[in-house]
Structure 1
Amino acid sequence: MLPMIKNNSFFPSVLDEFFNDMPAFRSSAPRWMPKVNVAENEKSYQIELAVPGMEKEDFKIEVKDDVLIISSEKKEEKKEDGKNYSRREFSQCSFSRSFILPDVADSGKIEAAYKNGILDVTIPKKEAEEKPSRVINIQ
């Protein structure tokens, strides 16, 4: 049985509050990163991102230098006359996630689908090529 270790979260909390209260460290945009599941089987890799409330047009998926980049920037453009908000938190949502593709990934055949708040990206594996044996002559 592994021993239980109590995590003292006092110091990280104090540091977070300190840096969040300083204007130089405060971000004007909310910090949000979608949760990700990554799975592998014999034929492919599967990446699932939990991104509810978006449309498939909100996503950009690209491959640069063997890195899969999944990003989104969605801004709320509704104007509501007569409302005086004291706090408005859901006006924009943006993120970017990057994944280094292994050598066996076939980046030219990546597919994606968005359904029920889950972005599902399938990365097929390249078919294994049989390398012919070669006889080496001894001199």
Structure 2
Amino acid sequence: MRFDMPGLSREDVKVSVEDDVLVIKGEQKKDKEEDNSSWSRRVSAYDMRLRLPDASENEKVKAELKDGVLLVSVPKSKVERKVIDVQIH
């Protein structure tokens, strides 16, 4: 999965798995002086929750933040399907 998070650093982003839900939170606050007399504050905030599929290996979720893009990989466990041929009478 890919999430655009321009301007955020690793310290600004938290990725966790709560039960079977992937939680992504990020916040960046910047104070800036404008015109030597007034201050402005810019806040970028993210709070996203995604339900993970049943076949996910939640303990092996990995995340990487590079150039404002968060990449999250959620490996799937191998599920063997048992196929039984049913005779038609």
TM range (shorter): 0.7 to 0.9
Higher strand share: 2
Give the TM-score normalised by structure 2: 0.77
Matched, 1:124 2:75: yes
Indicate whether 1:91 and 2:45 are aligned: no
Deviation sequence 1:43-77 (CA, Å, 0-9, x none): xxxx100111110111111111200010112222x
Greater than 4 Å deviation, 4+ residue runs: none
1:130 Cα deviation from its structure 2 partner: 7.2
Residue equivalent to 1:62: 16
**Cα distance between partner residues in 1 of 2:46 and 2:11:** 14
Q: Which amino acid aligns with 1:48?
A: R
Q: What is the rounded CA distance, in whole Å, between the counterparts of 1:115 and 1:129 in structure 2?
A: 35
Partner in structure 1 of residue 33 of structure 2: 80
Q: Normalising to structure 1: TM-score of the pair?
A: 0.51
Counterpart CA distance in 2 for 1:56 and 1:83 is: 32
Quick one: percent identity of the two aligned structures?
A: 35
Query: In 1, distance between residues paired with 2:8 and 2:14?
Result: 12
Q: Which residue of 2 aligns with 1:6?
A: none
Alignment correspondent of 1:21: none
Q: 1:110 aligns with which of 61, 72, 76?
A: 61
**Larger-Rg structure:** 1
More helix by share: 1
| Unaligned 5+ runs, structure 2 | 83-89
